[in-house]
Structure 1
Amino acid sequence: MSFTLDAKLEEQIHDFIVRALREDVGEGDHTSLACIPADDRSTARLLVKDPGIIAGLAIAERIFRHVDPDAELKINTEDGKTMSYGDIAFEVTCNTQALLKAERLVLNTMQRMSGIATLSNRFVFEVEDMPVKILDTRKTTPNLRFIEKWAVRLGGCHNYRDGLYDRIMLKDNHIDACGGITAAIQQVTAYQKEKQLNLPITIEVRNLVELYEVLGIGKVDRIMLDNFELPILAEAVAVVNKRFETEASGGVNIHTVRKIAQTGVNFISVGALTHSAVSLDLSLKVVK
């Protein structure tokens, strides 16, 4: 199996691999150079030691072929699939020095991605019978956002904005620094017109008073209801009455997400998908 990815993602992966190997290998893997013959080849298997969603196979394939263009991989599953304890995700045969050089990078990446995908999938399971979308946030590891957001998608959740550049989001600090909700919306509207932009606009509200102010102005696409208690959240959704998209945020966890969804919000943003996911236990073992 070989994974086909778009050009932008291929470029991001290549840059990630180069930087990560430079960080880890430096001037050379002296341990392997000292005790492994340069022309030796080995086979290793990726063993799943926790049940969950596997993620990162496409990156693992590219890491091995980066360190050894002649690497041969037998991949037994697909990214985003459920794996059980004892399953073998793939088998790789390549130069042994290259294999040992790539081992930790492959494991670190796949364990992190699989942990995020697994947690994302748990959130999806909680609301799978409801018309709501679970979103990630910008609470990601610097320089690893594209990988972590990819894992979110593999787990069945949805990406919000990729960064500050592809959506306008007026949060509490923007509103307070700008002088209030009305001023913030007016300035954003003028800015978009001046710059000939048409970015979707989300505005955060902290209470019903702010919600009514937004409803009086309009000119936004989505209203983020931040840290609302459940009864107030349900009231707010009813007040909006589908005139704008609604989003719940703030302190969402696996135990509360279904009750939040039952209020009728369109979206629930969950920072925990990326900032609180626990890595899935995987190991890469050379076949003796």
Structure 2
Amino acid sequence: MSDAATTRSGPDERAPAAGPVTFVGAGQMGAPMVQRLLRAGVDVTLHARRPEVRQTFTELGAHTTASLADAVKGAGVVISCLFNESQVEQALLAPDGLIALLEPGTVLVSHTTVGIRLLARVDEAATARGVSLLDAPVSGAPDDILAGRLTILAGGDPAVVERARPALETYGTVLPTGPTGSASRVKLVNNLLFTVNVQTAAAAAALGQQLGVETKALFTALQHCSAATRAIETMRDVGSIERYAELGAKYLRKDVAAALATAAEEGADPGVLAYTAHHGPLPLTAS
């Protein structure tokens, strides 16, 4: 195993009581999760279709395979970190997909933020298979994962949460939210509110410029005042509002669409949150 896999990054990293973990979806968010699992000494089997991804993580100490069936064989905890609902449909619910291959008694942790209806379908398919679904969307960025400070919302049976906790705590803090579906509901509200915070921060920057205040100086000061938000912090660190919008727009559009679709499905009124997300100065919602 290389130095990158064996060197611990801080005092929060500790050897968990986690058994072997199978991981599906080593993308922008999933890759640092796998790194943290490996650094904590967890036995990881990674499913990855691309040879270069398999090579990278083989060198870091993971077992890797292009076969989903081989990856989940005998697995007790399977972690899925996919980008969007389309990938969840294809990877989890297809006739030859992940759930169809899992053995009864497996815990399936899903980190993907999806709408409530799709989540219910995933839960129904998992239950029919004898698999326990942990509804576990996350809040944070790749840097937060690498630092072990990701927020992991956990909706599901408390016993299922505890089975997955040792693995999940290698890269973040687990916050139980109630039954399956509660975590996704919390995450959708969070995502919509964060988008609103981004829009209001951009509007504040525009006002500051009109008043002769440079944006970075404004945001640095606001982070020490009562108006401080995570949106202001991240926009300041990126360097410009335009660059932040360029980097984050596709993620925020996806998140807002999922939040508003869920609100409509459940007869909830997002009110001023939806209005501000749509009508703020940045193009952060689908046209």
Query: Normalised by the size of structure 2, how large is the TM-score?
Result: 0.29
Q: When you count helix as a share of all residues, which structure comes out higher?
A: 2
Q: Which has the higher contact order (CA 8 A, sep 6+)?
A: 1
Larger Rg: 1
Q: Give 1 or 2: higher strand fraction.
A: 1
